[in-house]
Structure 1
Amino acid sequence: MNKQVRCGRVLIGGGAPVSIQSMTNVDTRDSEKLLTQIKALEAAGCDIVRVAIPDETAAKSFAKVRQETEMPLVADIHFNYKLALAAIEAGADKIRINPGNIGADDRVAKVVEAAGNKGIPIRVGVNSGSLDKKLLAKYGGVTAAALAESAIETLSKIERMGFDDLVLSIKSSNVKMNYDAHMLVKEMTDHPLHIGITESGTPENGRLKSAVGIGSLLLAGVGDTLRVSLTDDPVNEVIFGRKILESVGLREKSIEIVSCPTCGRTEVNLIDMANEAEESLRELGERRAILGLKPLKIAVMGCVVNGPGESREADYGIAGGNKEGLVFAHGEIIAKVAEDELIPTLIDIVSNDMTKK
């Protein structure tokens, strides 16, 4: 088991549940917009929010917002170590720095000392786009080994300063390189790992790369906290991050829909029906997840071969027939309705089930 650190109310590493992070993208200097976005991320189920602090005005805004929310906040600092000191003083729950662009070691040491005095962790970030020139020359460019060596060197530098509450982040936009770098690093350190695919892209491509990249690491037992990086509303990063955790079994699905692939026996328009059910129940599922309500299994089946059996095993379900179908609730048939009434009836009964665990 690896080490554990605390970021506000959230534990990272040491067997704690994998937490979901995102990063605000409004102007940090606008405290009202910043607070509004943090609240939106929290409502979506985000565990930790990272905030960029590019200048002193942003640092002052961050300090103001810090007084208005209990959400765990990470101050993201580049180039100016004094901004890190200001964020720590303002009450940041964690600091994210890249020691390579903060300046001389004495400046890094001041940040480390301030974080130690406040008892907050530091996330050390290493990206494929910011490797040291010496490493690029040594490995002939950006490679998994170069990323791993850079990460361990950076950790060692801070550890020599007497600081151990560290979280390591290694990110590449190349899924295979990202995976290989983590496979190397996991054998070289026991610090918690923040995982993700950096600059993964627009929503469609970014979700695909993130699902493969983050999912493969989680299945390999790597990752203590994650961020899905999308060129999109950060709320969508949180929603998709949860879907990844649900898909690999690290969080229960609030609503799981099972549906058959269709065949020549299907006598209802199951493809459209399954898509309609998924789309209509998405928001309800997100709300149930945030409220911690009992997970539900919903079956949307197309014929009499497997339909009744799957529907009886689910909390709720439908089994199609010849332009009509059966509606099931907790294993019992509760209605027989026309094809066009199957999904509306299903959605109605699921929406009315707000039973807690």
Structure 2
Amino acid sequence: MHREQTKKVQIGNKVIGGGSPVLVQSMCNTKTENVRETVEQIFILEKEGCDIIRVAVASKEAAIAIRDIKKEIHIPLVADIHFDARLAVQAIENGVDKIRINPGNIGGTDKLLSVVAAARERNIPIRVGVNSGSLEKELVEKYKGVTPQGLVESALAKAGIIEDTGYDNIVISIKSSNVLMSYEAHKLIAKKTKYPLHIGITESGTVRTGSIKSAVGLGIILNEGIGDTIRVSLTGDPAEEIRAGKIILKTLGLRKGGINIISCPTCGRTQINLIDLANKVEDLAARYDLDIDLAVMGCVVNGPGEAKEADLGVAGGKGSGILIRKGEVIRTVAEDELLNALKEELDNWGHQE
């Protein structure tokens, strides 16, 4: 089922499903019990553009901390629960906006019913999560291994347990570290459920490899019109997850805002330190919420032509570079002044005559 056809679900002050914009999620790597450290990390992620944040709730202290964390942050808070229904209920009572559980490991039907009852009382969504690494033994045997079909059957069966109680405020996620398995599984489940889908390539790796795998996996899934929220799961700073997620959505045309960097590969004509400049420009651009293309070119031979479609750009020469706005060269500056010249342009963007 494509995004436009999925059920709308309210998560705090955000809405997903039913054609709503695809939102970017991340998860704190702090100890949730440490309210100050967790809130400080969430503030950083909010600034990066995080739409929804998840925290691990593995203790009573973490469940209690939810209340104080919620008071300070501005985006919806999701509690990640495993094995202990009491913690899920406590997190709900302390004001969490959504819970993530695996109904199969929550402690049996009675325990699950207590969680559903608490969620129903406050009308908060339950995210049913299934990972390829924890697929039930009987489904592995049925399909002779971990397969897309097994992941889908598991997720729908678990959602069905909650549905049978009469509650349908549900979000589903099926994750695998195998990109093509994830793709096939999402194509299958999109035909079988009305619920919004949270998508991601789980345990995808470090910032470099994980970002590439996630870009491929999320890109092909989202391009099918499938997926309502995304997480780029990386072994690294959660802020990197947000940056990668935003680039993926912007590349596919699913998110506006933020500067799009266009930079050329280096070659023998390059006469400036292009790699260093491009990295500094990327860091600079992250501070601006401007929906423009910014080109960083390594030479003045092809630079002006290649950058003419960009809104703003620089092209390096020997010890200097040219500044280009809307395809027109506006001035030449020394190499060590290129970054400052770009900053000045960005600071005044929209105010030029």
Same fold per superposition (TM over 0.5): yes
Instruction: Give the direction of change, closer, same or farther, for the CA distance of 1:45–1:223 in structure 2 (3 Å limit).
Output: same
Q: Which amino acid aligns with 2:347?
A: N
Instruction: Return the alpha-carbon distance in structure 2 between the equivalents of residues 348 and 43 of structure 1.
Output: 19
Matches within 5 A, 1:161-200: 161-200=165-204
SS in 2 for 1:11: strand
Instruction: Return the alpha-carbon distance in structure 1 between the equivalents of residues 281 and 75 of structure 2.
Output: 27
Instruction: Return the alpha-carbon distance in structure 1 between the equivalents of residues 300 and 74 of structure 2.
Output: 50
Instruction: Return the alpha-carbon distance in structure 2 between the equivalents of residues 5 and 27 of structure 1.
Output: 28
Q: Which residue of 2 aligns with 1:95?
A: 99
Instruction: Return the alpha-carbon distance in structure 1 between the equivalents of residues 198 and 146 of structure 2.
Output: 20
SS in 2 for 1:185: helix
Structure 1 residue ranges, 4+ long, deviating more than 6 angstroms after superposition: none
Instruction: Give the direction of change, closer, same or farther, for the CA distance of 1:164–1:343 in structure 2 (3 Å limit).
Output: same
SS in 2 for 1:173: coil
Asked whether 1:207 is paired with 2:202, we answer no
SS in 1 for 2:285: helix
SS in 1 for 2:19: coil
What is the aligned-residue RMSD (CA, Å)? 2.3
Asked whether 1:257 is paired with 2:261, we answer yes
Q: Which amino acid aligns with 1:169?
A: S
Asked whether 1:317 is paired with 2:287, we answer no
Asked whether 1:302 is paired with 2:306, we answer no
Report the alpha carbon displacement of residue 39 of structure 1 after superposing the two structures with TM.
1.4
- Structure 1 unaligned spans of 5+: none
Q: Which residue of 2 aligns with 1:283?
A: 283
Q: Which amino acid aligns with 2:312?
A: Y
Instruction: Give the direction of change, closer, same or farther, for the CA distance of 1:355–1:87 in structure 2 (3 Å limit).
Output: farther
Q: Which residue of 2 aligns with 1:334?
A: 330
Identity level (%): 48
Instruction: Return the alpha-carbon distance in structure 1 between the equivalents of residues 189 and 71 of structure 2.
Output: 37
Q: Which residue of 1 aligns with 2:80?
A: 76
SS in 2 for 1:302: coil
Q: Which residue of 2 aligns with 1:269?
A: 271
Instruction: Give the direction of change, closer, same or farther, for the CA distance of 1:312–1:230 in structure 2 (3 Å limit).
Output: closer
CA deviations over 1:278-323 (Å, ceiling 9, x no partner): 311223322223xxx343433526344x543443432222345677
Q: Which residue of 1 aligns with 2:137?
A: 133
Report the alpha carbon displacement of residue 17 of structure 1 after superposing the two structures with TM.
0.7
- Is contact 1:252-1:295 (8 Å) kept? no
Q: Which residue of 1 aligns with 2:11?
A: 7
TM-score (norm 1): 0.89
SS in 2 for 1:201: coil
CA deviations over 1:2-24 (Å, ceiling 9, x no partner): 11101111111111111011111
Report the alpha carbon displacement of residue 66 of structure 1 after superposing the two structures with TM.
1.8
One of 324, 327, 347 as aligned partner of 2:342: 347
* Greater Cα offset, 101-110 or 343-352: 343-352
Instruction: Give the direction of change, closer, same or farther, for the CA distance of 1:267–1:187 in structure 2 (3 Å limit).
Output: same
- Is contact 1:124-1:169 (8 Å) kept? yes
- Is contact 2:174-2:185 (8 Å) kept? yes
Instruction: Return the alpha-carbon distance in structure 2 between the equivalents of residues 33 and 323 of structure 1.
Output: 45
Q: Which residue of 1 aligns with 2:66?
A: 62
* Greater Cα offset, 319-328 or 219-228: 319-328
Q: Which amino acid aligns with 2:299?
A: G
Question: Size of the alignment, in residue pairs?
Answer: 347
Instruction: Give the direction of change, closer, same or farther, for the CA distance of 1:261–1:281 in structure 2 (3 Å limit).
Output: closer
Q: Which amino acid aligns with 1:352?
A: D
Q: Which residue of 1 aligns with 2:30?
A: 26
TM-score (norm 2): 0.90
Report the alpha carbon displacement of residue 35 of structure 1 after superposing the two structures with TM.
1.4
Instruction: Return the alpha-carbon distance in structure 2 between the equivalents of residues 337 and 286 of structure 1.
Output: 23
SS in 2 for 1:258: strand
Instruction: Return the alpha-carbon distance in structure 2 between the equivalents of residues 243 and 212 of structure 1.
Output: 12
